[in-house]
Amino acid sequence: MIERRRCRRISPPQQLQVRVKYKDEAVMVDLTPYGTLLKTATPLAPQSRHKLSFAIDGEELNLQGEVRRCRLIQGDHKQHFQFFASMEFVHLERKLQESLEDALVDFSLTEMQCSTRP
């Protein structure tokens, strides 16, 4: 299989809550310096932009992400739905990107496994 991503995804060592402005909270599934995969209870429209905030090692990161893809991963007749939303970070300042890269190095050192999800 040919890897199509710019760099590998790293799963955070502990569950990270992500606040998506004007939406419910989401859970970060994995992270790269360029984007993240979120699990959320509400669908996010492709090409929509959202303000995201989450903390890594006590540092609060606030950035903007654009939804590249959103798909239903679970749903039942009781209206319990979950979605995966692939987000690409946009207008990322160099300082924020460096913070993300540092966090990914730390995550890698804890030997977390890469996600193999599409």
Q: pLDDT by residue (tens digit) across 65-102? A: 999 999 999 776 666 788 999 999 998 888 777 877 77
Give domain limits for the chain.
16-105
CATH 2.40.10.220 fits 16-105, yes or no: yes
Instruction: Tell me how crowded residue 3 is: count the other CB atoms within 10 A of its CB.
Output: 8
Residues 6+ positions from 25 with CB-CB distance below 8 Å: 17, 18, 19, 40
Which residue type occupies 103?
Answer: A
Give residue-wise pLDDT tens across range 41-74: 889 999 999 988 888 777 788 889 999 999 999 7
Task: Give the distance, in angstroms, between the CA of residue 69 and the centroid of all CA atoms in the same chain.
Answer: 12
Contact 53, 16 (CB under 8 A): no
- b or e along 30-52 (b: 16 or more beta carbons within 10 Å of the residue's beta carbon)? bbbbbbbbbbbeebbeeeebbeb
Helical (H) or strand (E) element with 64: strand 59-74
Rounded to whole angstroms, the Cα distance separating 11 from 8 reads 10
Number of H helices, E strands in the chain: 1, 6
pTM of the predicted model, to two decimals?
0.74
